[in-house]
A and B are shown apart, each in its own frame.
Chain A
Amino acid sequence: MTTSNTAKTWRTICDSSDLVKDSGICALIANEQGSDEQIAIFHLPNSEEKIYAVGNYDPIGKANVLYRGIVGCIADEPVVASPLYKQHFSLKTGQCLQEEQSISVYDIRIENEQVQVFY
């Protein structure tokens, strides 16, 4: 993840008060090519890492919808269920639990009540 040539930094996305408990929001981040990437950010205060960031694009349903999925856990793995066809994606690894598909995962933290993504 950190082998890219361009130097990644912690970029501030929003206030921590913008997070919705046990649910997701979506943010746009400009990538190297100058276009925008959609990132789904989930706040699970009762889980180990409390906050997760993954790609918003559902590779199976082929639409930008993952932040609107229900979050929870399957066998202790924190997951989001796609709102389209209900496959589970791990919030830790991005791996789909039902099919050979995966989504990107990003490092994320809350610093001084600011939500920051390492990108």
Chain B
Amino acid sequence: MNSDKQLSSRAKIVVVGNGMVGHHFVEEMAKNPDCQITVLSAESRLAYDRVYLSSYFAGKTAEDLALTTPEHYDELGVTFKTNAKVTNIDKSAKVVTTESGDSFEYDKLILATGSYPFVPPIPGGDVEHSLVYRTIDDLEAIQASADVSKVGVVIGGGLLGLEAAKAVKELGLETHVVEFAPQLMAVQVDGGGGRLLKTKIEELGVQVHTSKATNKIVAGDKHRYKLCFSDDTELETDLILFSAGIRPYDNLAREFDLEIGARGGIVIDNQCKTSDSDIYAIGECALWNNFIYGLVAPGYNMAKVAAKDICGEDAEFTGADMSTKLKLMGVEVGSIGDAHAKTEGALTYTYENQPEGVYKKIVVSSDKTKMLGAVLIGDTGEYDSLLQYMLNDIDLPEAPEGLILPMAGDKPTLGVDALPDTATICSCHNVTKGDIVAAIDCGAVDVGQVKSGTKAGSGCGGCAALVKSVADNEFEKRGVEVKKDICEHFAYSRKELFDIISVEKIKTFDELLTSHGRGLGCEICKPVAGSVLASVWNDYILKKPHLSLQDTNDTYLGNMQKDGTYSVVPRIAGGEITPDKLIVLGEVAKKYNLYTKITGGARVDLFGARVEQLPPIWKELVDAGFETGHAYGKSLRTVKSCVGSTWCRYGVQDSMTMAIDLEHRYKGLRAPHKIKFGVSGCTRECAEAQGKDIGIIATENGWNLFVGGNGGMKPRHGDLFATDLDDETLVKYVDRILMFYVQTGDRLQRTSVWMDNLEGGLAYLQDVIMKDSLGITDALEEQMSAIVGTYQCEWKTTLEDPEALKRFQPFVNSDKADTNIQFVTERDQIRPARGEEKIAVTFIDATEKEAVAEEA
């Protein structure tokens, strides 16, 4: 009885429409257990992501795009009906009825019906292959039509039109965009930006026709249809895709007497209520302050406001900023505020760089003190700071043009002090300046802790620099010194230690500790010193005074695995190996029962070697002509290469020889972190060189050099450093760049981060390396040639040194082996036994250990 009463007292919420905004409302509303939610959707699917619709053609499935599932709605206790188009609203009885005659009572009704694509009434336009771009069903129709078409035309050159053009292009059709206005993206971008955008889009193989009004569509001569324009020109096509704007789906509201705007849209107030106080409208069907928001973020905001209002909480929708930053077919486009300078008295500053394809404009107030808007094409690097100026009404610097001019050095930086606490710093995670200050109040002591505490900078990462300056500024205000000390034993950065060691000619860690440090050192400063000593003097790293400085990987010249065994990785320069050597690897792996795997760096890793097995294994490898691969060192790892012009039909240079020469030149060089190279024999880039620290790509005239690429955790494309270099110049530049990195990089700083942190960036590095702006290139080359000249294979040296070999005996007082190391078989090879798989074994003689390994 009691439960019945409670159930009937629960508020009945009926949501019409299950697009992104309708779904967002459901999620918000379901937080309140006192309501009973019913979703009625006219589509056959539940909510999916329309923003990433074009990724459907790049391989994403309807499941990938889905925002929810029937199971998820069941979990939330939400009742839902698909293919349920609402055809009647009885406002006095508070009942809605669907096409099929089902009725649903409501206490509150939410209209989230969205919008539909506007198809201009062009004579002859209503034909089979004339489509729109809005839903997954539309995409399926486009795909089916594209399968039997060669040419596709998108009518409409706005943001969505260009997205649609991208889709048509990806389907392999000759693609055209037809726009009525004299430019593309007329809403967000001004004339100058539109011109550049057109050039860039055309470079990508999409033909753009502006100022074209389509009069009629008739049968084509060569293709299916012919578009006839008002200026008497024509364009033939097989597929027509309309993307000429959206119109609100307001017919239900219209039919049942809710207030509608003069040009459509359901009128709502600040609580998102329509003219009937029990009916709300949200998203693209709603008209607020005579404006329809065609973006998802304001729609989400409306959903939140409506849900709160129903629960009796205070909430208001007060409009939204329409600034956007996006990548259209790889072209960066940014639009902020009053992009068209419509504000009275507005003044503009414009910078255009045609060769590089960059256009930037800022719109400022008549007294030049406030930012009103901006347009950025080709480079949106300044988007965040320009947006902050506008959103927070920050006073502009004396010469506002400096904000968009590409001058290194004297570019005015946005004083982070000027930002209010409400300023959004990270828009991915909605982190404000206030949140960052609060994180510091709660004890964050460095930028890393601020980031992990607030999640700022962990989305797209675009705000990383801003987060750092806000945090540093806050630390500075509190008198916290931003320290660069590597650890408690040395009050110096790695670079400072490098200078001390080379200037004062310090040869051992003990000397360094006595003269410049304190205590006994630790696992941070010791390897740093070991690495710098190796870079400067290139001694054998296992020489007595250096031995205790090395990480275990360097000490045992192998990579320690989780069970305490090591991997064995011989160098296979450029990935080139003779069959005989390959057989040796196989024989050694088989003899010592090592797990064998081909690595991403085009060489062979052998896993599971015990410390005491390392010398005999390496003896066999060295005797067969192998040398150490330095897989354990912060040093050159691999130079990945394609076969180049020697074999490949497309190769234009001998990338294989170049790769092998470079690998042999820089092997053994100790650096702040590992270094990887890639050399591609042509612009097809099969060696993925742009993802490497040093990337080299062959051209007809020589080599293009890229610096600072990275794969892994935070991928980064290398910066194009120089073009069409001959062999000699290429090696000279690489010598200088690597040595400069070795000298100035921070501990464990890859070249990608090093590049990002170089003040003055790429241009500065180019000046240092190519124009010798610091007057150090001769010294850099000399140092590199000294290191190249004193290379030794660490394994060969170790095998010849009985004293060093003693280190590989596991116990000082016994020949037994460690019984905690056990293997089991998986896919015909060994792998470390997990805790529960291990068997208790007492110590046995080394001679018996093979048998144990096999048993286990």
**A interface list, Cβ under 8 A from B:** 13-14, 18, 20-23, 25-28, 34-36, 38, 41, 44, 46-47, 57, 61-65, 68-76, 78-79, 81, 83-84, 86
A-chain residues with CB within 8 Å of residue B59 when the two chains form the complex: none
Instruction: Assess whether B523 is in contact with A86, with CB atoms less than 8 Å apart.
Output: yes
Task: Report the bound CA distance from A75 to B547 in whole Å.
Answer: 23
Q: Are B547 and A23 in contact (CB under 8 A)?
A: yes
User: In the complex, what distance in Å separates the CA atom of A20 from the CA atom of B543?
Assistant: 12
A63 partner, pick from B562, B807, B843, beta carbons under 8 A: B562
* Chain B CB within 10 Å, residue with most, of A25, A64, A68, A86: A68
Question: Which residues does chain A contribute within 8 Å of B488, judged by CB atoms?
Answer: 74-75
User: Are B519 and A76 in contact, CB atoms less than 8 angstroms apart?
Assistant: yes
- Within 506-543 of B, Cβ neighbours of A (below 8 Å) are at 519-523, 525-527
B564 in the interface (beta carbon within 8 A): yes
- On whether the beta carbons of A81 and B523 are closer than 8 Å, the reply is yes
Contact B555–A18 (Cβ < 8 Å): no
Q: Which residues of A contact B489 (CB under 8 A)?
A: 72-73
A65 to B821, CA, bound (A): 11
Assess the B520–A70 pair: CB atoms within 8 A.
Answer: no
- The reply to whether A72 and B560 form a contact with Cβ atoms under 8 Å apart is no
Closest beta carbon of chain B to A9's beta carbon, Å: 16
Known: A14-B812, A14-B813, A65-B564. A81 touches B547 (CB 8 A): no
* Given known contacts A65-B564, A84-B560, A73 and B519 CB-to-CB distance under 8 angstroms: yes
- Cα separation A14 to B812 with both chains bound (whole Å): 7
Point out the residues of chain B lying under 8 angstroms from A20, CB to CB. Answer: 547-548, 807
A78-B520 contact, Cβ under 8 Å, with A64-B564, A72-B526: yes
CA gap between A38 and B820 in the complex, in Å: 11
A63 to B561, CA, bound (A): 10
Q: How far is the CB of B245 from chain A (nearest CB, A)?
A: 57
- Determine whether the beta carbon of B552 is less than 8 Å from that of A26: no
Report which residue of A62, A72, A81, A83 has the largest number of chain B beta carbons within 10 angstroms of its beta carbon.
A72
Residues of B within 8 A of A71 (CB): 520, 548
**Given A20-B807, A68-B564, A69-B523; 5 other pairs, CB 8 A cutoff:** A27-B814, A36-B842, A72-B522, A78-B520, A84-B560
The 10 residue pairs across chains A and B that have the minimum distance between CB atoms: A72-B522, A81-B523, A83-B552, A22-B548, A63-B564, A70-B523, A73-B520, A23-B548, A68-B552, A36-B843
Complex Cα gap A65–B818 (Å): 10
> Of A36, A70, A83, which one neighbours B560 at CB under 8 angstroms?
A83
Chain A residues near B816 (CB-CB < 8 A): 28, 36
Pairwise interchain contact B522-A74, C-beta atoms closer than 8 A? yes
Minimum Cβ distance to chain B for residue A23 (Å): 4
Asked if B519 and A68 sit within 8 Å, CB to CB, the answer is: no
Q: Is B280 an interface residue (CB 8 A)?
A: no
Once bound together, how far apart are the Cα atoms of A13 and B813, in whole Å?
6
A14 to B809, CA, bound (A): 14
Contact A64 B843 (CB under 8 A): no
Evaluate contact between B812 and A25: CB separation under 8 angstroms: yes
Using A35-B842, A36-B842 as known contacts, say yes or no to A26 and B810 having CB atoms under 8 A apart. Answer: yes
Write the chain A residue with the least CB distance to B544.
A21
| Distance (whole angstroms) from the CB of B486 to the closest CB of chain A | 13
Check if B140 is an interface residue, CB within 8 A of chain A: no
Query: Once bound together, how far apart are the Cα atoms of A79 and B818, in whole Å?
Result: 24
6 A-B residue pairings within 8 Å (CB atoms): A27-B811, A34-B842, A64-B564, A65-B560, A69-B552, A72-B522
> In whole angstroms, how far apart are the Cα atoms of A62 and B548 in the complex?
23
Q: Is B781 an interface residue (CB 8 A)?
A: no
A34, B844: Cα distance in complex, Å: 12
Instruction: Check if B520 sits within 8 Å of A44, measured CB to CB.
Output: yes
CB distance B522 to A18 under 8 Å? no
- Please pick, from B521, B522, B818, the residue contacting A64 in the complex, using a CB distance under 8 A: B818
Residue of B nearest to A58 (CB): B564
Residue in chain B with minimal CB distance to A75: B488
Instruction: Give the docked Cα–Cα distance between A81 and B548 (Å).
Output: 12
**CB distance A84 to B811 under 8 Å?**
no
Q: Give complex CA distance A86, B522 in Å.
A: 11
* Cβ contacts under 8 Å, B551 to chain A: 70, 83
Residues of B within 8 A of A18 (CB): 812
Interface string of B543-580 (1 = CB under 8 A from A): 01001111110011000101110000000000000000
Q: How far is the CB of B183 from chain A (nearest CB, A)?
A: 58
> A71 CB to closest chain B CB, in angstroms?
7
Bound-state Cα–Cα, A65 to B558, Å: 14
CA distance A61 to B563 in the complex (A): 8
* Distance from A15 Cβ to chain B, minimum over Cβ atoms (Å): 9
B835 within 8 A of A: yes
Assembly CA distance A71 to B521 (angstroms): 8
Name the CB-closest residue of B to A21.
B548
Give the chain B neighbours of A81 by CB distance below 8 A: 522-523
**Distance, CA A2 to CA B522, complexed state (A):** 32
Q: A27-B811, A47-B520, A72-B520 are in contact. Are A64 and B820 (CB under 8 A)?
A: yes
